[in-house]
Amino acid sequence: MPQLSNVAKFLKALADETRLKITFALTIEERLCVCDVAAIIGTSMATASHHLRYLREHGLAKSTREGKLVYYSLADDHVHQIVMIAYEHSKE
């Protein structure tokens, strides 16, 4: 049996509804700043930042700084595919 602990961590990161909303939003928009994410999920910028940091630390998102703003995007196309497959599956 292969080591699956990293897969479990990946899925745990997506198991939180707020983080899943963020990753889903990032499948629609290529990149979002913290203030945009906060508006989308209806929370404070501090809460949005916390969730984005969690996603980044677990390899689901990446960040780039432009001046004072930090923009987030999905780490790679695999994350996009997994979120979209899960969404499509949930509609069945």
- Backbone phi, psi, residue 33, to 5°: -85, 170
Q: Taking residues 32-54, report their average pLDDT.
A: 96
- Note the pLDDT of residue 84: 96
For 72-83, the pLDDT digits (tens) are 999 999 999 999
Tokens of 31: 């990149």
Q: Taking residues 3-20, report their average pLDDT.
A: 93
Q: Taking residues 29-38, report their average pLDDT.
A: 96
Can you give the pTM of this predicted structure? Answer: 0.91
Between the alpha carbon of residue 5 and those of residues 14, 48, 53, 90, the distances in Å are: 14, 26, 20, 24
- Note the pLDDT of residue 31: 96
**Helical ranges in 16-63 per DSSP H:** 17-28, 34-41, 45-57
Domains of the chain: 5-91 (1.10.10.10)
Asked whether residue 85 carries a pLDDT value surpassing 90, the answer given is yes
Asked whether residue 92 carries a pLDDT value surpassing 90, the answer given is no
